Structures are given as structure tokens and as C-alpha cells.
Structure 1
């Protein structure tokens, strides 16, 4: 990646960190709320609520950047030249890691918490048979729904690129409607809700990026303040689309300014993480399941003292992030070294042949 784009990679790194923290919280703290009292209960609930309030700032910017980075494929690259890199590659990783997560998390649950009962329809990783697994994957009820979305979005936005304005307006309206009338499947609900942000990046990313770079807060303080207040007010009545779009603008502006003041480095933590988002995204869910079940087991058995428990509750998401990041990066390196990176890209002989680009 060119140096001038490193700040964008840093945003990707921040987004995947927030995703790991999100899953760390939802698989750990809700189980403790009913078991703990006093300060421990307060800390657990605080992480749960913070996780909820971070929602408008996590996936929207992730999808906007994802759409922005494939603008060329949407606009100029022919369909036959998109098959392997934009469709087959993502489908391969989605299917492979869907199976690996299902097998891995099933074994982890049998080992660490055989008494724990999961709803098999809630997530593909808890499926009890192949039919349930296939059905959940088809409905995007999977921890890998981001990959499902990337695959679906690319086909939709490349197909409808001649109708940009009416389609994006429709998708923004759908985002509002789905806040009040959600779909029955949480994964598909997330896919539909975030489609507008990917579309803004894929279709209008270059223009919006230029506007962001040119915007000077000192020249428009009242307009920005009014927009922020209106966005917050709408968010409080369960209409998050405006604050999500504003967060995309603000996060990009902050990282762009930081890069202008101090050029982003290729060896910086966020750049390394941002360059390996798929590896961390696909592997972290298995690691989080094992870590949360192990810690919950230790807490339930009374093997952790009160003071140590408080310390764990305070830093658990960050510790989980560190572990998942190291495991993801380490597994990616092993994949490249031992088997040609086949865990994150199709084997060369399986890739659909295309014209040389």
C-alpha cells in the first residue's frame, strides 16, 4: 500500500480492533451480570452499554472504507476480471472459515462448557447439523457476516452503478425503516442496515474524500455543531444513520489530520492490524469463545479472588484484543509459510482463470 494511503489502513486497523472488542464483550460480560453484585456488576454493565453506544462508530466506517477501496473494480474493471479477486476469493474464505469456526467452536464448547445450551439457529457456529449450518450461513446468521456482506454488496453495487442516486437514497431510507422494523435474522439485518455505507464509499467515496480533506471546522463551527446535535437527537430516537455518516466523516478527518501532522508509519500497530483484517476477523471468534468460556469457568468455580476479578473485568476486552491479534497475525504467517496462504486465499490451481491485469 502506498504511503499516502497508510492513514486509511490505520482506520481499518481501528475498525477490526473495535470488532474484536465487541465480540469480547458480548461473549463474556452478559454471563456475569446475573452472577455478580456491587462494583463487579457495575463494571460488567458499563462494558455492555459502552459496546452498544459504539455501534454507530464501528461498522459504518469499516464498510465505507471497504467500498472506497474497490471503487475501481466497481466502475471500470470488467466482470470477468472481478471473478477471482472480488467474488471467488471472498466466497472461498467465507465458506472455509464458516466451516472452521463451526468445528472449532463446537469442540471448544464440548470441552470447556458441555452443560451450556445454545440456540442452534442463533449462529452458524452453534449448528447441530449440516442443514442448520447451511441455513444459518444463507441467512447471514454467522460471525462472518461481514464477508457475506462484502460478497453481496459488490455484486449489487457493480450491477446498479448506473442508478447511483436513487439507489443510495433508497438504501438510506431502508436503514431508517429497519431500525423500527428489523428483519427476523440478525445477520441479514446487519447486512441490509450497513449497505448504504458501503455504497457511499463505492460510488461516492472519491468525492466525499475530497470534501473531507477540504473541510475546515474553523470556517463552519455552527454548521458542524448543529449537525452533531441533530445526529445525536436522531440517535436517541433510534435513527442512527445520520450519526453513523457523521462518524465516518469525523474519523476520516481525524486520521487524515494526524497523518498530515505526523506521517503514518508502515510498522505502526494499526497499520499492521489494518493490513491483516481478514486474518484477525476470521480467527478471533474461535479464540474469543475459548477465552471467555475458560474465564467464566474459573470465575464460577471461585478460583479468582475479588480484587483480581475486578481487575480482569476492567481490562478483559483489551487483553482479549491483544491475544486475538497475536493469534491472528501468527496464524496468517504460518498460513503463508506452510501452505501458500491457502487459509486466506484460494489455492492457485482453484482460482478461476482471467486475463492478465
Structure 2
């Protein structure tokens, strides 16, 4: 009995539940911190690093591209799973509250920052990313083919779906969402722009929402042995998928993503053993929104400034940069994004990050 009480207290502590404060799981915030770093790193690699004319005689740039691809089944599925975990309380609120605080908020932020991105990216026409170049293209990105800001668009859609079907048996919702993910990943649907991500990740948001107690228990009981097993399974599945070319096989990508999420949650929970690192990641994970919406214009402008000079360096100069450049630029982009965010808040531009109107204190959902 004493052992059971101890385990119960440990579970509550790892879940981040403290009296008088919203329920915030430290491991989940740390996982979000890792995810936003991986998002920025991936964009740095494919939109800047691989566009540089490297002439160093070794395939380091290609290695960075390959490494970045290995995190694709992890990054957004884990991000959406954590978003679903935090959405549990919000979905239970009345429609009028959900419509404003979640659906309306995310649609507002998506539309606002889509306009900002469109304007800023016009100043970097060679930056390789989706952008609207006409009124019709902008309308398409606002409605049926979301832009690089698709995470916000997806959250608005996912909250709508989750609220609408909240009374239905979970299996009747998870099964078609899983099928949609498998169909989209197999290329059996037309998925221009970022529609593929939209279709593939609903299942992970709903899984986080419906399976929150099990996910929190999985995190609270994470062990080194489980970390070794889940990481090994993830690596083996990635290798097998690459060897046999199974990326487009029906059901393979969602399966790999499930294993990746299990690994990601376990790793995030185990990070709690190193509070100096996990606390910093959790802090970053609580401010992912400004990084997400600001980092692409920052990266586009830095790309315009850096592409020519770095491409023009001699072999020695490039050799000094080629290995660590993505890490350095990722840190710079995140740092600049947070600085821009602070400056915008200092001039009372909170409306860039929150739906204008009466502010209410809400528990994390």
C-alpha cells in the first residue's frame, strides 16, 4: 500500500499537476520544445543549407538532409499528440467558448500571419518555400491548401472535428482518422501544398485527446529500458522502410510515426533526469507559437543575406562552416524570432499572437 501511494504521488508530480495551477506536464512541454527546434532545423536544412553552393568535396550537406528526413515521422506527429493531450479540457467546454478560444483563435492567427508571410516573402523571391503570388493563390491558401503555417489551420480544423464528435465512441472516430492518415501517406489522395500533413496528423491529435491518461501513464513510468526499446524500434523501422522503399506502402508511415511518438514521449520523460536541459526545453515548449509564426520570414531574410557570401567562400572557409552551420543558424533563427516577439509585445502588439477581445484566464487544454 505504501508503495502504491508513493507511485501515485510520483505520477502526479511527473504529470505536472500542482494545486491552483493549470495542468501542465513538464515532459510534454519539453517534447514541444524539441519539436519546435526540429521544425526550425528542418526548414533551415531544406530551405537554406541545401540551397548553398557547397564545394568542399565531401557529402556533408547530403548527410544533414538525410538526418533531417529521419525525424519526419516524429516531429509533427509528436507535436500534434501533445497538442491533443493539452486540448482535453478545452474540448469539454461549450461550443461558444471552443469556437472563440480555440477555433476562432487559430483561424485568426493563421489568416493574419499568412498575410504577413506573403508580404515578407515577396522580399525574398528566391527563397524556396510555398507562397501566394496572386489573389487566387492567397485565397487557396486561406481555404483548401494551407501554407507553411498549416499547423494553425490544422488545429482549428481538428478542434472543430473533436468538438463535433465528442459524444461518439472513440474507436468510431480513431479508425477513420487512421485510415485517412494511411491513405494520404500512401499517396492515394491529391495532397498539394501541405494538405498531406493536414490529413496525416488528425489521428495523432485525436489520440492525444482520447488517450491522455494512458499517454501520461506511459510518460510517468518511462524507464531507460523502454527508451532503448522504443529508440531501437524506431531506428529499425526507419532502416527497413528505406531499404525496401516502403515509405508509400499503405499503413507503413503511420505505423512508423506511432513508434516515433512512443519514443519521443519516453525520451521527453527521461529528460527530466537532467533538469538543466529539460527545464530549458520546457520553457521553449511553452512559447512555440511566436517561434512558429516568426521563424520563416526571419529565415527567408537571413537566407537572402547569407546565400551569396557563403556560396562564395573558398574550400577552407566552407569546410569550417559546413558541419555546424545548420545548428548555428537554427539557434540564430530561434533567438531572433524570440527577440522579435519580445519587441512586438513591448509595443503592445499582442494582437499578433492572440485573438483580440476580452482576455480570460483559461486552464491549459
Normalised by the length of structure 2, the TM-score is 0.81
Alignment of 1:11-50 (within 5 A): 11-32=31-52, 35-40=53-58, 42-50=59-67
Whether 2:265 is the aligned partner of 1:252: answer: yes
Which residue number in structure 2 is paired with residue 63 of structure 1?
Answer: 80
User: Structure 2: how far apart are the matches of 1:221 and 1:48?
Assistant: 25
| Residue in structure 1 matching 2:340, options 331, 337, 340 | 331
Measured against aligned partners, the alpha-carbon deviations of 1:269-294 in whole angstroms (never above 9, x if no partner) come to 31232121010000000011111222
Instruction: Please give the residue correspondences for 1:1-357 in structure 2 after superposition, counting only pairs within 5 Å.
Output: 5-32=25-52, 35-40=53-58, 42-74=59-91, 76-109=92-125, 116=126, 123=130, 125=131, 127-161=132-166, 162-181=168-187, 182-214=189-221, 229=236, 233=240, 237-238=246-247, 239-259=252-272, 261-263=273-275, 268-300=279-311, 302=312, 304-348=313-357
1:5 positional shift:
2.0
1:290-322: CA deviation from partner (whole Å, max 9, x where unpaired): 11222222244x2x2222212322222212221
Give unpaired runs (5+ residues) of structure 2: 1-15, 19-23
The Cα of 1:232 is off from its aligned counterpart by 5.5
Query: Residues 180-205 of structure 1: CA distance to partner in whole angstroms, max 9, x if unpaired?
Result: 22423131111101111111001112
Please identify, of 88-97 and 157-166, the stretch whose mean Cα deviation from structure 2 is larger.
157-166
Name the Cα RMSD after superposition: 3.0
Going from structure 1 to structure 2, the CA distance change for 1:213 and 1:269 (only over 3 Å counts) comes to: closer
Aligned equivalents of 1:73, 1:219: Cα separation in 2: 31
Equivalent position of 1:113 in the other structure: none
What per-residue deviation string (whole Å, max 9, x for no partner) do you get for residues 180-238 of structure 1?
A: 22423131111101111111001112223224434657599989977975676457511
Greater helix proportion: 1
How many corresponding residue pairs? 333
SS of 1:98's equivalent in the other structure is: helix
Question: What is the rounded CA distance, in whole Å, between the counterparts of 1:339 and 1:221 in structure 2?
Answer: 47
SS at match of 1:342: helix
Pick closer, same or farther for the CA change 1:67–1:117 going to 2, 3 Å: closer
Contact 1:340 1:347 in 2 (8 A): no
Instruction: Report the Cα distance in structure 2 between the residues aligned to 1:252 and 1:58, rounded to whole angstroms.
Output: 12
- Separation in structure 1 between the aligned mates of residue 172 and residue 119 of structure 2, nearest angstrom: 43
Q: Secondary structure at the match of 1:77?
A: coil
Per-residue CA deviations over 1:164-187 (Å, capped at 9, x if unaligned) read 212212222222222222423131
CA contact (8 A) 1:26 1:48 kept: yes
